[in-house]
Every structure is written in C-alpha cells, then in structure tokens.
Amino acid sequence: MKMWQTLAYMGLIPFIVSFYLSIQNMDWSIDTKQLFIAYSAIILSFVAGSLWQASEQKKHHNKQVISNIFSLFAFLALLVNYHLALIILAINYLLLFLYESKLVKLNKQCHIHPAYMRMRFQVTLIVILLHSAAYLLW
C-alpha cells in the first residue's frame, strides 16, 4: 500500500474513535460529539486545501476560491448545532468528491492516479456513512 493510501485510511481512525465515544453512555471529560465535528471540519478543510495549486495562473483561481468556500462551510459547521453540522459536513464531503471527480474527468488534473480516486471514493463514503449514523444516533 502506498503512503498516501495508508495516511488516508489512518485518517479514518479519529472519525471512528470519536463516533464510537459519542454514542457511549459514559461521562467523558470532553464533548465527544463536538470532537467528531471538529475533526471532520479540520479534515474537510485539509482535503479542500489540496485543490490549491502552486501556480498563480488564472485557470487555478477557481479551484482556490472553491477550496476556500469548502473551508468556510467547515468553519460554519463548528458554529451550529450538532445535527445541522453533520448535514453541512456530509454534503460538503460529497460535493468536494464530485468536484474533484469532475476535474479529473475534464483532464485538468490528469496527474491524479485512478487508484487515488477509488481510495477517495471509499474514504468519502465511509465518512458520509459515519456522519449519517451520527445524525441518526445523536
């Protein structure tokens, strides 16, 4: 397994652990629901940041603006109630994946390996399922 695959799947661990802790009837010293949402917002911003390019060419400005919009939605998720935050985050993970897929299909990011997009699909699906489960169980 390549390093980027290992890191992507390892990035699911805090999602799974914080989700598990959030559905336990134990008194933790931290708000485990907020922990899940905060980690999710951080990861959404991080993945959206991967849209940035080092180039200052005009053709990259749209990706930079879109990246910032995803980050602003991630920040917004930190300011609203849990259920709304889960909806905002899940929708934005889906939209970000669809946007990246569109870029690959339009050949604007032809350097992206097909295995990367398969991995992104799998990780995105797991993250959305965890958000959905949290919505139902919280």
> What are the sequence ranges of the domains in the chain?
39-137
Q: Is the C-alpha dihedral spanning 52, 53, 58, 59 positive or negative?
A: negative
Q: Do 67 and 46 touch, CB atoms closer than 8 A?
A: no
Full pLDDT tens readout for the chain, 138 residues:
889 899 999 999 999 999 999 999 899 899 999 999 999 999 999 999 988 865 455 566 788 999 999 999 999 999 999 999 999 999 999 999 999 999 888 865 556 778 989 999 999 999 999 999 999 999
pTM (global) more than 0.75: yes
Gyration radius from the chain CA atoms: 16
Q: How far apart are CA 125 and CA 120, in angstroms?
A: 8
Q: Please give the structure tokens belonging to residue 87.
A: 């909806």
Q: How far apart are CA 91 and CA 86, in angstroms?
A: 8
Give CA torsion, residues 100, 51, 39, 4, to 10 deg. Answer: 80
